[in-house]
Chain A
Amino acid sequence: MKKSIKELEEELKKKTGEDKLPIGGLEGIKNTFDSKLFLKLAKEMQRIFAEDEHNTNIGFKPR
């Protein structure tokens, strides 16, 4: 059965982890910072952003 665009978009969101993004109001928030995961991912981020020669991410420049 052919999947709809919406179904395909939802499938991709599951693959990227966007379906787990904590969207909502201010109520009941807990700080869930994972130090070990952060240090591991920070190295990955350095590699990912360094490899992207055409990165125009605004965060790299003064706005």
Chain B
Amino acid sequence: MSIIQILVSSLDDEFQNLHKRHLLIDTNFLIDAFKYPTQFNELLLYFERKGFTLVSIQATLVEFAKGSKSIEDFSKKITYYNNIINRILPLDPQIHENVSDIIKVLLKKGGQLSYTDCLLLGTTMKYKDSIYLLTKDRSDVPISIFNVSASIMIETQDNNCTFNIYEYREEKYENILKKRIEDTNASDIPF
């Protein structure tokens, strides 16, 4: 059995409980996809077969396309991005408010998040009934608020990498929010 068959056959188990059909894509997915095209081609075809659409935000396009040496290269990056991403979701005040709220409740745990990370988390919160966040396994996605709903193990010629599908859990966020308010009341901050 080839590496790719192992990858795809194991996905059905992981994906059977995923009911939303939109995956919010992070920049690291776009980059690993061209590094390991055979594996990711299989994965992207799998998503298509299962009815998933891939969405993202403008910030990932900026991260992906910046630093191009020429307009020609820039254009090729746009075409590549456009082939994978089916829709770019516009940012709105609600997403910015979510970002503001999330860094308040995370405090120290949010220190490693980039602004793009924050926007992706805020977008996942906004579209909580429709979207999962798909990103490389990283320690800085706050699992105190986002559950790992599925993992995709990808064996490459260089190493193994894991992408996780995260789901926003509102009840977890609510609990942390309450705790922050209680802590604030207890500490009696002087101003």
**Residues of A that sit less than 8 Å from B by CB:** 12, 15-18, 20-26, 29-35, 37-39, 41-46, 48-49, 51-52, 54-60, 62-63
Specify which chain A residues have a CB less than 8 angstroms from the CB of B114 in the assembled complex.
58, 63
Give the contacting residue for A45; candidates B26, B53, B80, B117; CB below 8 A: B80
> Could you pull out 5 A-B pairs where Cβ atoms are within 8 angstroms?
A38-B37, A43-B37, A52-B69, A60-B31, A63-B114
Specify which chain B residues have a CB less than 8 angstroms from the CB of A62 in the assembled complex.
138
Q: Would you call B27 and A57 a contact (CB within 8 A)?
A: yes
**Residues of B that sit less than 8 Å from A by CB:** 22, 26-28, 30-31, 33-35, 37, 40-41, 44-45, 47-48, 51-55, 58, 61, 63-64, 66-69, 71, 73-80, 82-90, 112-114, 116-117, 127, 130-131, 138, 140
Specify which chain A residues have a CB less than 8 angstroms from the CB of B53 in the assembled complex.
29-31
Q: Given A20-B82, A44-B80, A57-B63, do A26 and B68 touch, yes or no (CB 8 Å)?
A: no
Q: Would you call A22 and B85 a contact (CB within 8 A)?
A: yes
Q: Would you call A59 and B27 a contact (CB within 8 A)?
A: yes
- At the interface, is chain B mostly helix, strand, loop or mixed? helix
Give the contacting residue for A41; candidates B55, B80, B89; CB below 8 A: B80
Q: Would you call B87 and A29 a contact (CB within 8 A)?
A: yes
Taking the nearest CB of chain B, how far is it from the CB of A25, in angstroms?
A: 7
Q: Would you call B73 and A25 a contact (CB within 8 A)?
A: no
Specify which chain B residues have a CB less than 8 angstroms from the CB of A16 in the assembled complex.
71, 74-75, 78
Taking the nearest CB of chain B, how far is it from the CB of A33, in angstroms?
A: 5
Specify which chain A residues have a CB less than 8 angstroms from the CB of B84 in the assembled complex.
33, 38
Q: Would you call B88 and A23 a contact (CB within 8 A)?
A: yes
CB nearest neighbor in A for B54: A31
Q: What is the CA–CA distance of A55 and B87 in the complex, to the nearest angstrom?
A: 26
